[in-house]
Amino acid sequence: MASAFASSSTSPLPANVPDLTVLQNASRVLHEQFASDAQIIPDLGETLNTQAGPASSSYSVFADDFRVPFQKRKLIGIPDALFKHYQSVKANSHMGIIPEIERVWISIEHKLLLWDYTEGQEISSFEDQPYVINHVAIVKPKKALFIEEISYLLVICTPVAVTLIGVAQTPVPGTRRKTLTLYATDLTVNTEVEMASVIGTPDGRIFMSGSHDGNLYELHYQSTESWFGKRVQLINHSVGGMSSLIPRFASSNVDDRIVLLVADNFRHCFYTLTERNTISVYKPGTDKVVQHVQTLSNIYKSVQDKAPGSPALTPQKFQIFSIHPIDPAESRSGVQMVAVTTTGVRLYFAPSMSYGYSYGSMAPAAGNIRPLALLHVRLPPTNLLHPDEQEMAFRPPTAFGAAPVPPPQATRPYVFNELDNSSYVDGLMIAAQPGDGQDNDHILCVSPDLARIGNLEQVAQAPAPPRYMTGTTGKPPLTEYASILSIPGRTWGMAVVPTNISAPDPNLPATPVTNELATQFSEYPRQFMILTNAGLHFLVKRRALDYVKAVLEEWYADGNLQPMVEMRDSFGRTQTCAILLGLASGNSFLPPAEDAQSSSHGVISPDLANLAKQAFYDLGERPRWTERSSNVYSKTDTPGQAEYSGRRDGLALYFARLVRPIWKVKITTPSAAGVHLPTVPEKIVVAVQKNLTSLKDFLDRNPHIFHLSPSDSAARAPSLEQEAWKAEQNSVTELMSLLTRTIEALSFVLLLTDYNISDLVIKCPPDIQKMFTPQTFEDLITSQNGMTVSRALVNVVIDQQIGQQLSVDTISEVLQQRCGSFCSSDDVMLYKAKENIRKAVETRNTQEREIWLSDSLRLYIKGARILDLEKLREICGDFQQLTFARGAVELPLACANVFDPDNVGLSYWANGTPPNDPRKEFYDRRLHCYELVLDSLRVFEENSTANNNAMSSDDPDVVRTHAYEYALASPDQTFHSTLYDWLIERGMADDLLEIRPIHLESHLRREPATVKKYQLLWQFYVKDGQPLRAAEVLSVMAQSTDFNLRLNDRLECLTLAVGNAKSHPVSSTGRIETAIEFLSELEEKLDVAKVQLEVFNLLRPHMQDDPTVGQKIALLDTRLFDISELFFQYGLPFDYPDIKLLCLYTSEHRDENLVRSIWKQIFDDITASSERPVDDIRSKVVDLGSRFFPSDSAFPLRLVTDLLVRFSLERSPPSGWVPRLLADCHVPYVEIWDILNDMYESHIPPFNAQANVQAISSDIAILLHDWLEAARRPNSTVGRSEVPVGRMDSAVDKYLRELNPTRTATKQTYEEVKRLLRRHW
């Protein structure tokens, strides 16, 4: 997430911020060159197996001019001090080379001398054993058996014993030397056979051959002796018996002794060679065990089958003298080993049957291992000049890639028949045989002719295959340079000079190790050492780079340009231009390593550099516009494509080869302890940067080389050619941008290394650490993650400087000078702002402190576009600690606008934050900034509550108040909405309502609506003097189905709504009518809601009766129903008379039949189920009458009275039961009298029976008596004036006349009524 804040996709890039699109385009060009380098040179297997047939002998042989493959570099003579150790001219002496420790070993009788040849003269000696030393070898020790300082073991062989000596090396500061320390190990084993040809394995096992019996032995050693083995012992793996712990492979055959052992560490095996040219393959197994894999015999017959008739192959001369394992990187298809004969024939072996099977992938069991077979016979050259005749320099006028023109007829053709020493590495081989005299040797030098086997876009035609080239495909067969060098002395040993070449990057296309074109700009040339009795000779491999340099020298000396044209035609335009550019810009890998370290930066003279620049321009030609091209720069508005010039392609190729060692390599590799260690050694990074800087300086000094010359101005160039030039210049500009960025990136990495990169990474946030771990150099240079990581690391470096109380000016200046794109002006502003905070912390002057903090805020806001969230959070934390309220609030708000420059996040918020909207990213950026403001407010709140300001003397309450003022003053409505939510969550809603900030109303009305927001909204309107709007909000709350409110809550909302609506003042705005109408609606809804509440309470006891019923009843508590829903969904289905009457009463719906059936149901239900029906009827009717009277909809008085009278006639309750019950229902006496009187006089059944009429008369008597008693009581609700005295008096007379004489009680009541009338009215 942090990277999302580093830049904006829509904001303009600062001047010094790299354009990643340009860098990535240029990086793709480099990858094209990497892929090309992997394809232009075939590996060994392709040239041998597919193209060259079973045998070949194609060689390029030239005189001793600039095309010879090797040259003698130097001779280090044997130190004079060595000769004082010879006591006699007949002393027994041997010597050899130990390149692993940079020593030559020389034995004189029992003395071992170790000569340090790196700087010439130092000699170490070992004389602690008495026997003549015949052989010395060096091996790796077993792990954990010796002290850590011991890195090698010397194996000293004498006729009677083998001794192991520990070797430790210590570098000498300021020199190339390493001091040597020898340690006695007490590991010596006596032998009956003298040992020779010693080899070691990487895990410390030691094998050797017996000089006399030719057997295979293993010197086994361990830390202590045990029941099962001695501490050191010699195991014979060739002969069974007590001396061996495994079955013998073959009987010891003294007639065919093992004479040579060769270790193959690539495939974890070793080879043995016998006197009779038998080669065996062994694989070390478990402790003290070796596995015999294969024996190759009858090799001569196989060789004859593949190359019949060759003079170099005769039974008498066929003798193999050396074996060399082949690096899998040289032959990806599986060529495993090469054997060399004394006549110079090379025999290449590979797994048989299915060629291409690699030994390294073989299964451990012997039965699953594919045996080796002879793959190819490489015959020696037959037209080599004798070294004496090479003094006559002859160079035929032909291109490099063409078949060589034979030199003048050799008067002394050279034939090899006594080669006895050889060395091989990566397709290069040297071999020695005695010269014509006793004082010199002749060295055969062989190397691949890349111009003839590679696909380099050459002009010259491939030659016709010579004899022994039976390949049928179109690819060139193996062709090699060959020459002979003469050296003084007899050869004792030869070896490859060790190099520090790093392993190939697995993330790039694999390039064969024989392709020195790809490595000549980043690695020193290969060298061989030859030890003779005259000293140590060094031969150096000459590369295409050296050939071109020699051609330039000839051009400079003789003015002959033809060799340069031939070079271009043979190696191709692009390769030649890349080489010329390397020479012109002063590539540092031109001389061998030792010479480069002692020479100045300029490796060629200025005159040659100028010639190289001229050739680069002339041979590079011009870009062209063509319909078809392999190098394409597409233009949509112009037909065709641009084909780049050789200058642009040479630049791209040279650039790619310079950065190849680092480009896809991770910057660091975490150790097991989590420490980030640089993956690429510092000296390689420095070398790459040095050559890139030289290239940039050259291009900066010569900007014209990629432009039209003045004589070919763009104005006169055809339009399509102008397009080609524009395309080329655009590509070159992109490459130059990448070149500059890469140089700065390497400076940046070196600076991080100086500051201990591991410590810096650990101080980064976890997400940055996770992002950094897989970062390659390319990622750092061309990716957004690289920019994010680099900025974080720069911040850590600056913080470290500030933490050490150091000024950031120095480090900022260094960063801007050496790697400006990694430390922009914006970065410097941030560092200055950080330093101002430090000064504010240190000062005690309040005014100064405010000035420093204000300036810091200004700088931070100015550089906000490169701030990320974590950095912003850290800065806000600083402002909080310093109680700088303005900075803690205004900086995050300013960053919110910077992170969302086009207000995309604001529009997303304004649209209601829809899901799956890409604008959400920008809204989230704003939200993170708002959260920092809220965090600052929280901190200031806590400080105010605790009265705590740790780093300031400011009043906490004042700081808190100012913070809220700055926050509320923001014009950002989205922030205000976030702030209000936060305050409401913290229980500060009342404070908000008191302040009523400008955006509060719109925030509370904003979707999504919530109960909390609406509750605050209606209160806001009340406090703002808008009761009608408050009533509207309450009404919405009560009726909304989106809110999870209980029925009681909704009823409360309606009640409050009615109250607020009634509070609306009468105004002249004309809204009073609307308000009255709205109030009426509210009151109706309130009435219905009350009915709903009563229905719910009535039905609640039945919620557990049935799940469906329970759910239906529970629904009453979730929303408001209208009266029809209550009646039809609850009144009718549940058949509750009370509910039905309540609905009729509320709705004022009149339905005589319906209400009659309801009341009849009430009476029927009580009569049928009650034990005391008279009391229950009275209780029920009084309850309903008290509520519903005088509603005719729910309490039709005549109907109810009729039912009561009929019930009383059936049940005979006490007289007066009906009128007194109705009076308890608050029915006026006059209305009761009217209804009873109508019944009395109706004569309608059942009132036509005299008994029933007399019963009604009794009820009327009691009614009239009760009426008068009530009217005459003081403070009675029945007024005296309401009594119809005249009517009543005449009616009583009538009732008395018609009264049955037997009803004495009724008569007395009537008489009492008359007395009351007369007395009181």
If DSSP codes are grouped into helix, strand and coil, which group holds residue 347?
A: strand
Say whether 718 sits in a helix, a strand or coil. coil
Least confident range from 467-481, 522-536, 960-974, 1251-1265: namely: 467-481
Task: Find the angle CA(1103)-CA(1107)-CA(1112) to the nearest 5 degrees.
Answer: 60
Q: Which pLDDT value is given to residue 131?
A: 92
pLDDT score for 226? 61
Tell me which of 10-14, 477-481, 732-736 is least confident.
10-14
Cα of first residue to Cα of last residue in the chain, in angstroms, is: 98
The pLDDT of residue 447 is above 90: yes
Residue 1044 has pLDDT above 70, yes or no: yes
- DSSP-derived secondary structure letter, 51: I
Q: What is the predicted pLDDT for the residue at 978? A: 87
pLDDT of residue 953: 63
Query: Judging by beta carbons within 10 Å of its beta carbon (0-12, 13-18, 19+), is residue 372 exposed, middle or buried?
Result: buried
**What confidence score (pLDDT) does residue 1154 get?**
87
Q: What are phi and psi of 373, to 5 degrees?
A: -145, 155
Output the pLDDT for position 463. 41
Report residue 315 as tokens.
Answer: 């039974």
Q: Tell me what pLDDT residue 173 has.
A: 86
For the record, the structure tokens of 594 come out as: 């030792």
* pLDDT of 27 over the 90 cut: yes
- Provide the pLDDT confidence category of residue 949 given band limits of 50, 70 and 90: low
Structure tokens at 918: 């890409």
pLDDT, position 778: 95
Structure tokens at 450: 């890349």
3-class DSSP assignment, residue 123: strand
Residue 805: exposure state from Cβ atoms within 10 A (0-12, 13-18, ≥19): exposed
Q: How far apart are CA 965 and CA 803, in angstroms?
A: 34
- 3-state class (DSSP) for residue 1066: coil
Are 114 and 176 contacting, i.e. CB atoms less than 8 angstroms apart?
no
Percent of the chain having pLDDT more than 90?
38
Q: Give the pLDDT band (50/70/90) at residue 601.
A: very low
Helix or strand run (H / E) with residue 922: helix 920-946
Q: 400 or 284: which carries more pLDDT confidence? A: 284
Between CA 338 and CA 322 the distance in angstroms is: 9
pLDDT of residue 34: 93
**Residues paired with 372 in a beta bridge:** 351
- What pLDDT shows up at residue 88? 59
Q: CB under 8 Å to 299, separation ≥6 — which residues?
A: 277, 278, 279, 320, 339, 347, 374
Residue 488 forms beta bridges with which residues?
Answer: 440
The pLDDT tens digits for 883-913 are 999 999 999 999 999 998 889 888 888 888 8
Closest CA to 648 of 690, 688, 707, 571: 707
- Tell me the residue type at 9: S
User: Which of 378-382, 709-713, 742-746 has the weakest average pLDDT?
Assistant: 709-713
CA dihedral of 273, 278, 283, 289, whole degrees rounded to 10: -90
When pLDDT is cut at 50, 70 and 90, the band that residue 51 belongs to is low
Facing residues of 537 across strands? 75, 530
pLDDT tens-digit series, residues 1007-1029 = 888 888 888 888 888 888 888 88
Tokens matching residue 1281: 């004036």
- Distance CA(889)–CA(838), nearest Å, equals 19
| 1255 and 1309 Cβ atoms separated by less than 8 Å | no
Q: How far is CA 1012 from the centre of its chain?
A: 42
Residues 230-249 pLDDT 10s: 789 999 998 853 343 333 34
The conformation of residue 1127, written as its DSSP 8-state character, comes to I
pLDDT band at 64 (very low <50, low <70, confident <90, very high): low
The CA-atom distances, in angstroms, between 215 and each of 229, 253, 348 are 21, 8, 26
The amino acid occupying position 495 is A
**One-letter amino acid identity for 1063?**
S
CA 951/CA 802 separation, integer angstroms: 18
pLDDT band for position 474 (cuts 50, 70, 90): low
What number is the average pLDDT over the span 859-888? 89
Closest C-alpha among 545, 533, 538 to residue 496:
538
pLDDT of the residue at 296 = 94
Q: Give the closest residue to 1294 by CA, choosing from 1250, 1239, 1243, 1237.
A: 1237
Helix count (H) and strand count (E) of the chain? Answer: 44, 34
Provide CB contacts within 8 A for 840, sequence distance 6+.
848, 849, 852, 853, 856, 882, 884
The runs of H, that is alpha helices, within 229-293 are none
For residue 1285, which amino acid is it?
V
pLDDT score at 645: 92
pLDDT of residue 84: 75
Spatial CA neighbour of 663 closest among 466, 813, 522 = 522
Work out the burial of residue 363: count CB atoms within 10 Å of its CB; fewer than 13 is exposed, 13-18 middle, 19 or more buried. exposed
Q: Which residues contact 706 (CB under 8 A, 6 or more apart)?
A: 647, 648, 728, 729, 732
Q: What is the DSSP letter of 343?
A: T
Q: How many CA atoms lie within 13 A of 401 on its CB side?
A: 23
Say if strands 440-448 and 479-488 run parallel, antiparallel, or are unpaired.
antiparallel
Kindly give, in sequence order, each residue whose CB lies less than 8 Å from that of residue 1209, ignoring residues fewer than 6 positions away: 1246, 1252, 1255
Kindly write down the DSSP assignment for every residue of 681-695, as one continuous string: -HHHHHHHHHHHHHH
For residue 664, name the pLDDT band (cuts at 50, 70, 90): very high
- 127 in helix, strand or coil? coil
For 472, other C-beta atoms within 10 Å of its C-beta total: 9
161, pLDDT greater than 90: yes
**Would you call 703 exposed, middle or buried from its count of C-beta atoms within 10 A (0-12, 13-18, 19+)?**
exposed
Report DSSP state, residue 1037: H
Q: How many Cα atoms within 13 Å fall on the side-chain side of residue 748?
A: 28
Q: Tell me what the mean pLDDT of segment 678-683 comes to.
A: 92
Residue 494, beta-bridge partner list? 530
Q: Is the pLDDT of residue 596 over 60?
A: no
Q: With 50 as the cut, is the pLDDT of residue 5 above it?
A: no
What is the C-alpha separation between 364 and 156, in angstroms, rounded?
32
Cβ neighbours around 1010 below 10 Å, total: 14
DSSP-based three-state secondary structure for 853: helix
Q: What is the dihedral angle through the alpha carbons of 1076, 1081, 1087, 1091, rounded to the nearest 10 degrees?
A: 180
pLDDT tens, position by position, 1219-1271: 999 988 999 988 889 898 888 888 888 888 888 888 888 988 898 888 888 88
Alpha helices in 804-845 (DSSP H): 808-818, 825-842
Q: For residue range 1080-1107, what is the model confidence (pLDDT) as tens digits?
A: 788 778 888 888 788 888 888 888 888 8
Pairing of strands 479-488, 58-61: parallel
Sign of CA dihedral 224, 228, 234, 238: negative
CA 1185 to chain centre: 81
- Look at residue 500 and give its three-state secondary structure: coil
Give the C-alpha separation, 1112 to 5, whole Å. 54
Give the list of residues 6+ apart from residue 1068 with CB closer than 8 angstroms, or none: none
